[in-house]
Structure 1
Amino acid sequence: MPPVLATVATVAAAIVVVSVLRREWQRVNRELDAVPVRVKDTHTLRRDPVTGEWRPHR
């Protein structure tokens, strides 16, 4: 196969893959945006004074 055809085929395949991935990213983001986030469920991290490790704290 001539090098030009191989390059064109590679570029075309890359364009198809990127377009499929882009649609999937958009679908996942739509699903994530539809889920309500409750502020009460979020935790802050605080350092444990004894061990020095960061732990979730309400």
Structure 2
Amino acid sequence: MASSKFSAIFFLILYAVLLYFVFTMQNMVAMYLMAIGMFLEACEGVYCNFFKH
């Protein structure tokens, strides 16, 4: 749920790095990145729904 161009590019880069870690079999780092990415997307959704007018 990218609400701006900056956040869309940020999450694209984050998930590209995540894919790199998955393909190089560094699964724990990939899992940490995935959890961070999901948490940040949820925070962005809450911000957009409750605080942005």
Q: Smaller-chain TM-score range?
A: 0.3 to 0.5
Which structure is higher in RCO with an 8 Å CA cutoff and minimum separation 6? 2
TM-score, structure 1 length as denominator? 0.44
Structure ID, larger Rg: 1
Higher helix share: 2
Higher strand share: 1
